[in-house]
Amino acid sequence: MKIRKYMVSPSVPDELSPLLDITRNFWWCWNQKAIDLLRRIESSQWDNRDHNPIKVLGETSESNFDRIINDDAMMMQLREVHEDFRLYMSQESWYNMLDDDSKAANCKIAYFSFEYGLHESLPNYSGGLGILSGDHLKSASDLGLPLVAVGLLYRKGYFRQYLNVDGWQQEYDIENDFYNLALEPVLNETGDPVKINVDMPGRKVHAQIWKANVGRVMIYYLDANIEENSPEDRNITAQLYGGDIINRIEQEILLGIGGIRALHLLGIRPTVHHMNEGHSAFLSLERLRMLMEAYDLDRDSAMQIIYASNVFTTHTPVPAGNDVFSAELIDKYFKDYVKSIHMSMDEFLKLGRINEDDKTENFCMTVLALKCSARSNGVSELHGHVSRAMWKNIWKDIPENELPIGHITNGIHIMSWISFEMQQLFDRYLGPRWKTKPLDSSIWERVERIPDAELWRTHERRKERLIGFARQRLSSQLQSRGYPKTEVEYADQILDPDALTIGFARRFATYKRGTLVFKDIERLKKILNNKERPVQIIFAGKSHPQDNGGKDIIREIIELSRIPEFRDKIVFLEDYDINVARYLVQGVDVWLNNPRRPLEASGTSGMKVPPNGGLNFSILDGWWDEAYDGQNGFTIGKREEYTDTVYQDEVESKALYNTLEQEIVPLYYNRGRDGIPRGWISAMKWAMQTLCPEYSTNRMVADYLNKYYTPATEAYENLVDKGFEKAKKLKDWKHRITKDWSHVHIETIISDMKEDKLLIGTDIDIKCIIHLGGIDFESVKVEIYYGKLDMSENLIEPETIEMRHSRDLGEGKHSFVGALKCTDSGQNGFVVRVYPYHEDLSYKFEMKLICWS
């Protein structure tokens, strides 16, 4: 049976045509005036349609459109919102106003991610990674960066969650209707959908390109659910994180290789490719193939360009969380592909192995991304340290602190998460520049101007709204599980708008310890049921369908919430999504986070609380490790790390209770005659001032631009200039260095130290004789590597001093001289090192060659 397809679009009167402009761009989802307007179109259906204005417009009757046209106030609101949108899209951006020295002239960034969390109406995300990607794009739009994004379009998105009577997580899927979302197919000149294809074993898989507008930024999605593919291949993009290892490698081939082909087909030529996590790492291969084919470049010359212009962000602080594939699977999918890049399978497999000679080691996507990127980063300062320690064996003999893995701490897109009431408060007391000058942190000092009473009333209104939402949500949950009417009605009595309210919502992985707060049940009962100072907790979150440990944590919380003493005090909200998260972060007093340090790479949920007046209560892990200053929130413990997890849970649960009892509860309930907690409000204001400007994606995206995107673009343009002249020369230079490096050794070190005991201020003159063989002395750097020594005689926070060439001694030997000053008392030490140097290297240890004295 052949179905003839046709497209039906919302029939919107001409007078309301601006609605189509607004709803086809996700800009509306972080503009409260636009949200209010769209809600008024059909307020009774807004919540039932996942706040999807395209769906609402499609179901709106002609009589309702007439009502809107005849409503002067609503038509005025429509004109204002449309004008705001047009102004946003056309006004000069922060990026465009940068001087020429602060940006690369031809910069074009391609951002690749497995998931994007833009809004609940487009459920193409699972959790933190997707939310971060969505917020990255929104800030890129706000700042005006020349960025395009690439992803996969999942027919079923991520699973939906409900809990059975026993509290065990159940999963179900809802198919996305792409034609009733803020998406549109990319069409060619003849009006046909634009498609790409990628090679899979014995066949080609085709994908249609869709696009979504995110302010001034565009996302291009690949969709394999089209007629050209077999039923099995149509399922490649069926679901996010839903398939087996075969589905995963095919999704990653489609994203990485197919994504590059899509950009090329659309005429988009990025100077920088940013891989957000390792899922898209295969893009380096397709970039390599295209450069070789289009410009007749040899493989090694092309690889210089790719390495210099790739950026990679890792989010996973444990090795098990990184995608790996067996050698057999890689061989199956790439045995023909590697021929197109003039590479043997053995050479290719080495790109994905830490120990290149270990043929038993699996192929790791993170290793591939790291080896193909001159600029890589963790997502918090602590995660940068963790990542360097995890992957240090890729660069043997290179000091850990000098590895090419830095850090850019995550942030949030404040306008997407702040409540409208708090926005209005900031508008009144901070002025409009808190929105229009997103990188001016000094504006946040004006938070002190907000009257305590007004700030507190605003926060209380949002908490009341959260409580109302939680009651309604729980009532629906109980009704769907078949509970009796009395139980369903009882849901309207849970939680107290006046009680200290704690939120705990995230992916339920075991390391996040969702039940740590229940470690001492009797003590928790006393805390929650104190009549004078009551406390309550709202939980939400999903566990991965295959993670029974995470599911068991949810089940345990549900069981405990049924204890009579907890029944009114503990609530679990099902089917955690952006909408639920928004209510929680806008309404809670305290955001609880207690992972096992250092397993939280960053975490962004807690960042969403300060703009709304909430305070963080967390282990010093991820972003909170660098954000906490002693006054802008609360901690659980210090910076301890444990090997005995049972003991750790015991110690940290006690620390949690102690802080709750001795600091948080007293501060919250210490009220003046007017009933306002002045000390608590002081902490709220300080949290806003110290955290809002720093932990935003505006700051984060600006950091990416300054630290990575601009240098990568400059490196790219340098290497491709004049017919790839410098790329070819760099390749030839590397070959010569590699061939001759085995002859390099440090023969002699001479210093003028007469004795081992020296006074502060003394200069030590150092001379060394280095055998360079056939390598020119200008092709190396020689450095004194020095610092204080610990009791194990390891250098602590070492520094370097470059030595200068003093003499050619003949027969490949050279003399270098330098001096260091004794500035620190105690035991100190130094060594000398030599490594290859070329001005066009993107990373000084790019060749992984170094010789130590």
- Please tell me the number of Cα atoms within 13 Å of 323 on its side-chain side: 26
Region 91-95: what's the mean pLDDT?
94
- Percent helix, strand, coil in the chain, to 5, is 45, 20, 35
Q: What is the mean pLDDT of the segment spanning 131-141? A: 98
Burial profile 449-480: b = 16 or more Cβ within 10 angstroms, e = fewer: ebebeebbebbebbbebbbebbbebbbebbee
Closest CA to 569 of 513, 521, 511, 618: 521
3-state secondary structure of 481: coil
Q: Is the model's pLDDT at 582 over the cut of 70?
A: yes
**Gap between the Cα atoms of 342 and 344, Å rounded:** 7
What the block records as the tokens of 453 is 């009473």
- How high is the mean pLDDT of the chain? 94
Q: What is residue 445's three-state secondary structure?
A: helix
Alpha helices in 392-520 (DSSP H): 414-417, 420-429, 433-436, 452-480, 485-490
pLDDT in tens, 519-537: 999 999 999 999 999 999 9
- pLDDT at residue 1 above 70? no
So what's the pLDDT on residue 242?
86
Beta strands in 676-759 (DSSP E): 745-751
CA 95 to the chain's CA centroid = 21
Reported as a single tens digit per residue, the pLDDT across 289-317 is 999 999 999 999 999 999 999 999 999 98
- Cα-to-chain-centroid distance, residue 652: 27
Q: Where are the beta strands (DSSP E) in 475-600?
A: 500-505, 535-540, 570-573, 590-593
d(CA 248, CA 287): 21
Give the residue from 733, 769, 727, 738 showing the smallest Cα distance to 751: 769
CB 473 within 8 A of CB 505: no
If pLDDT is split at 50, 70 and 90, which confidence band does 436 have?
confident
Strands (E) located in 568-682: 570-573, 590-593, 615-619, 633-636
Q: Mean pLDDT across the stretch 327-347? A: 97
Which helix (H) or strand (E) is 32 found in, with range?
helix 32-41
Looking at residue 226, what is its pLDDT?
96
Where are any strands of DSSP class E within 701-794?
A: 745-751, 763-771, 780-789
**Listed residue (417, 250, 430, 258) closest to 333, CA to CA:** 250
Report residue 5's pLDDT band, with 50, 70 and 90 as the boundaries.
Answer: low
Distance CA(74)–CA(62), nearest Å, equals: 16
Confidence (pTM): 0.95
Structure tokens, 701: 């995206």
pLDDT confidence of residue 273: 98
Q: What percent of the chain has pLDDT over 90?
A: 85
- pLDDT at residue 8, rounded to an integer: 62
The pair of structure tokens assigned to 777 is 């002395």
- In DSSP terms, 195 is beta-bridged to 208
Q: How confident is the model at residue 165 (pLDDT cuts 50, 70, 90)?
A: confident
In angstroms, the CA 840 to CA 731 distance is 10
Angle at 261 between CA 258 and CA 266, to 5 degrees: 125
Q: What is the pLDDT of residues 722-771, one digit of tens each?
A: 999 999 999 999 999 999 999 999 999 988 876 677 888 788 899 999 99
Q: Quick one: tokens of 780?
A: 């190396």
- Pick the closest to residue 279 from 237, 312, 302 (CA basis): 312
Cβ(460)–Cβ(419) below 8 Å: no
